Amino acid sequence: MKINKVLLTVLSLFIAFAANAQKQEECKKKFESYEAFVLDRDYNAAVPLLKSLVKECPKYSADIYLYGEEIYKIKAESSRTPEDKQANIDTLLTLYSDYEKNFPGNGSVVRKAMLMKEHKLADDEEVFKMLDNFYTAGKNKFTDYDALQEYFMLYLKRYEAENKNISGSDFIEKYTGIAAQVTFARNKFIKEKAALQDKQQQEPLTRREKQFLKNADNYIDALSAVNQNIDKLSANYISCESLAGYYRKSFEEHKEDAAWLESVASVLYENKCYREDILYKAAVAAYKNNRDASTAFRAGDVALKNTKKEEAITYFEDAVALETSASRKAELYLHIAGIYRNADKAEAKKYALMAASANATSGEPYLFLAELYSSVSKKDCNLTDFQQKALLFKAIDMVNKAAAAEPKYKPTAQALVKQYSERLPNKDEAKAAGYKKGDEVQYGCWIDETVKLPKL
């Protein structure tokens, strides 16, 4: 008798397993057909399959809902009547609810809140609560730049209304928290972009991965803009002292949190709190936790503003090494050249030449060199009057190179050539110094150049 019961149990489990496997196979075939229609943009054919999948295979794949979002966004945008548009929006809202029910914490709550806000289907208070709940519970998925900015704007509105019992310290906490979330989202996209760039060297990307890679820079730039916007909007309600005090209390708790450190450094830096010790501490820690060109540059700039010049140059040089953009490399080299401008002209010249080499389409390095040559004093390298004046030929050569590299500098070059030409040596001065047309004037010291004299 007991054996029969065991056999019945095993048989029941086998039948259930087989039925589930058959259902999964049916879901797979249905989903593949649905996906094919979506990729072919045959949305009318895809809709019945979407409805069937949501009803019968709701947990088969998150792409059921992501493709559905694509369908109904396009259908809403192309609706011919207000009634049709509203019907498509309502369907999309329901789809977001189904998505959240079957794949909790996916971020569709945020998109639903923003859709309701856009079409005035919810008031500010309801939208704020939806965003606030997700911010509290699902930070890892809260990366939508529009939603992050809207969330801050709605909180700011509540704070300014003065009827929500929000204290100044509450505001600082929320502001810094959202700023950290924006930084987290930006860093997340940067890492995902880098991972996909590496992956595509080894294997083909999926359609969704290709789409992300195509839009990644826009996402990253938009999040940078959001950070700047919330900094500006908060400026009237915060001070460097209040921010620094808040961050000091939390530093030990978050000193291993790369996104938090990045946010602290970013917020204090953007608010020009350069003299706050916590900014230097956070900027260096953020660099060590996430060593890239931007964190290296900021650590360098903060160090420089705290009169730590040699340390700053080390960070700047690392920023150059980590930077992949030729134009940005040139900017960094020129930045270092500027640091050395008055202290070590040989180093200033070296980095300016490196800037010119890094980006052939930039005229700024040549203008820097022209200024360096044209402002040299006789004491710099024990020059004679004639040698000092003859060096202006080199300055003129530099401004002409600046105009050739970057045509927008042509008016500047023309003005400088005229200015320098008025100070050039004449034929009598050359003769008195023992030079004639075609002779070469040799310069040592930091200048280390040769100037061939033209007709005077």
365-to-57, 62, 190, 360, 377 alpha-carbon distances in Å: 62, 52, 30, 10, 21
- 3-state SS, the chain, equals CHHHHHHHHHHHHHHHHHHHHHHHHHHHHHHHHHHHHHHCCCHHHHHHHHHHHHHHCCCCCCHHHHHHHHHHHHHHHCCCCHHHHHHHHHHHHHHHHHHHHHCCCCCHHHHHHHHHHHCCCCCHHHHHHHHHHHHHHCHHHCCCHHHHHHHHHHHHHHHHHCCCCCCHHHHHHHHHHHHHHHHHHHHHHHHHHHHHHHHCCCCCCCHHHHHHHHHHHHHHHHHHHHHHHHHHHHHHHCCHHHHHHHHHHHHHHHCCCHHHHHHHHHHHHHCCCCCCHHHHHHHHHHHHHCCCHHHHHHHHHHHHHCCCHHHHHHHHHHHHHHCCCHHHHHHHHHHHHHHHCCCCHHHHHHHHHHHHHHCCCCCHHHHHHHHHHHCCCHHHHCCCHHHHHHCHHHHHHHHHHHHHHCHHHHHHHHHHHHHHHCCCCCHHHHHHCCCCCCCEEECCCCCCCEEECCCC
Question: Given a cut of 60, is residue 385 above it in pLDDT?
Answer: yes
Ramachandran angles phi, psi of 201, nearest 5°: -75, -20
Question: Given a cut of 70, is residue 300 above it in pLDDT?
Answer: yes
CB 322 within 8 A of CB 293: yes
The pLDDT > 70 percentage for the chain reads 95
Reported confidence tier of residue 456, pLDDT bands at 50, 70, 90: confident
The angle subtended at Cα 342 by Cα 336 and Cα 345, nearest 5°, is 70
Smallest CA-to-CA distance from 316 within 354, 281, 356, 373 is with 354
| pLDDT for the residue numbered 131 | 95
Burial of 7 (0-12, 13-18, 19+ CB in 10 A): exposed
Task: Give the tokens for residue 211.
Answer: 């789409």
Cβ atoms within 10 Å of 43's Cβ, excluding its own: 18
CB 343 within 8 A of CB 307: no
Q: Dump pLDDT digits (tens) for 81-134.
A: 999 999 999 999 999 999 999 999 888 999 999 999 999 999 999 999 999 999
Average of per-residue pLDDT values in the chain: 90
Average pLDDT over residues 366-382: 91
| pLDDT for the residue numbered 7 | 53
Q: Dump pLDDT digits (tens) for 238-250.
A: 899 999 999 999 8
CB 381 within 8 A of CB 447: yes
Average pLDDT over residues 200-219: 89
**Per-domain boundaries in the chain:** 24-104, 325-456
Class of domain 325-456 as given by CATH: mainly alpha
Question: Given a cut of 70, is residue 11 above it in pLDDT?
Answer: no
Smallest CA-to-CA distance from 226 within 151, 301, 299 is with 151
Reported confidence tier of residue 139, pLDDT bands at 50, 70, 90: confident
CB 287 within 8 A of CB 309: no
| pLDDT for the residue numbered 46 | 93
Question: Given a cut of 60, is residue 409 above it in pLDDT?
Answer: yes
| pLDDT for the residue numbered 164 | 83
CB 64 within 8 A of CB 54: yes
- Look at 12-16, 234-238, 287-291, 419-423 and tell me which has the smallest mean pLDDT: 12-16
Smallest CA-to-CA distance from 135 within 150, 148, 123, 124 is with 148
